[in-house]
Amino acid sequence: MTDADAVPELSRWQRTMVSDGTLAVECLERGDGPGVILLPEIPGIMPGTIELGDLLVDHGFTVVMPSLFGVPGRRPGLLGQVAAVAKLCVMAEFRAFSLDLRGQVTDFLRLVAGDLAARTHGRGVGIVGMCFTGGFAIATAVTTDEILVTVVSQPAAPFPVSPSRARSVGVPPAALERYAASRADATPCVLGLRFTQDARSGDARMVALERHLGRAARVVRIPSGDDSADGTPKGAHSVLTGGVREDPPNRAFLEREQMFEFLRERLAPAGASDARA
């Protein structure tokens, strides 16, 4: 039985092996419209990520999901999840618990962004990173002109082994500030999201985005635990997937809808009023 048989939703996605000569990664693609790179959370491209990708497609985007770890659609046991973390830790981005702007994954994602920008009709492409891949998203964005908009959701790396690491998104402050200075207009191009009581993604990282990106960043803190009026639990972590409740809609659901609009406004071709197909 193939993965597509085990997870029928995968049968709608085109699967291609992409290599930059150093890293070879299976990429899943679907949709028509401006391009968006969707990076999975650990342990990989699970049903929640696939659902988010399908929603992006429904909102008029061409979506590419690189399978950076794990097997798409297959939920590993505890040992498999540990192996996924271990794989990340030996990559250049995570050596010494930090990200490297010229590491394996960011180099690969720049290739994906350039290819996607060349064959889609948006003004550029977007990138969405969640949890451990939040840093990959911003590290790629600050080093390529093809990415016009970045979503950093509940960033959980580098590992918070010190106060400086706890407030880092894995990109040197000077690089963030240069990136912000290169965006001359006052329109935010980076969206940061987290739940207020999320212990795995501390608010210090959101503060750092605000401080070093200034007007280029828009940060949304979604009430959870004792802060929440809609029942979002203290342990809520995944803003765009597991933390969403559709009926009745909670704040995470509403902010996810706003994220779709955030991407559309910045990526739609000039003169287009709506990027939906």
Q: Compute the average pLDDT of residues 117-129.
A: 96
Taking 50 as the threshold, does the pLDDT of residue 2 lie above it?
Answer: no
CA 122/CA 271 separation, integer angstroms: 11
CA 210/CA 190 separation, integer angstroms: 10
- Look at residue 65 in the predicted model and tell me its pLDDT: 98
- Burial tier of 19 (Cβ tally within 10 Å: 0-12, 13-18, 19+): exposed
Contact call for residues 148 and 267 (beta carbons, < 8 A): yes
> Cis omega (within 30 of 0) on the bond before 43?
yes
Taking 50 as the threshold, does the pLDDT of residue 97 lie above it?
Answer: no
What b/e string do you get for 240-260 counting C-beta neighbours within 10 Å, with b at 16 or more?
A: bbebbeeeeebbbbebbeebb
Kindly indicate the confidence band of residue 275, based on its pLDDT and cuts at 50, 70 and 90.
very low
- pLDDT tens digits, 74-95: 766 666 666 666 666 655 545 4
Taking 80 as the threshold, does the pLDDT of residue 250 lie above it?
Answer: yes
Tell me the β-bridge partners of 62: 31, 35
Contact call for residues 45 and 70 (beta carbons, < 8 A): yes
CA 261/CA 106 separation, integer angstroms: 26
> Cis omega (within 30 of 0) on the bond before 248?
yes
CA 41/CA 20 separation, integer angstroms: 22
Q: Which amino acid is at 49?
A: T
* Token pair 């979604």 in the structure block, residue: 222
- pLDDT tens digits, 161-183: 677 777 888 888 999 999 999 98
Tokens of 254: 């509403």
Domain ranges of the chain: 3-267
Q: What is the mean pLDDT of the chain?
A: 87
> Cis omega (within 30 of 0) on the bond before 158?
yes
CATH superfamily of 3-267: Alpha/Beta hydrolase fold, catalytic domain (3.40.50.1820)
Q: Compute the average pLDDT of residues 144-169.
A: 85
